[in-house]
Amino acid sequence: KRKSLTPTENMTLIALEKNPGTPWHTDELVKEVLGEGYANDNIRYHIWNLRKKLEIDPEHPRLIVWVRGQGYRLDGSS
């Protein structure tokens, strides 16, 4: 069961769900979810909020994972 997500959190999750297991470079995710003109910090904020709502332990995420040098991915194996 998904907790109540904001529209932007929902759009972020939908983007990640398009290709589970495949990292999204932060710039690409910003464009997909927020559009042009937003900073990467904006998407990091929404990722953090998603982790707080969806992860068992947001400090050690297993669902929305950061892949160094590649970006965020939805890990379907967890």
| pLDDT at residue 1 in the model | 47
Residue 77 has pLDDT above 70, yes or no: no
pLDDT of 78 > 60? The answer is: no
Using 50, 70 and 90 to split pLDDT, how confident is the model at 2? low
44-53 average pLDDT score: 95
Contact 22, 72 (CB under 8 A): no
Residue 39: pLDDT above 90?
no
Provide mean pLDDT across the span 27-51: 92
Name the β-bridge partners of 67.
71
Distance CA 25, CA 15 (A): 12
* 53 phi, psi to nearest 5 deg: -85, -30
Q: Tell me the torsion sign for CA atoms 17, 19, 23, 27.
A: negative
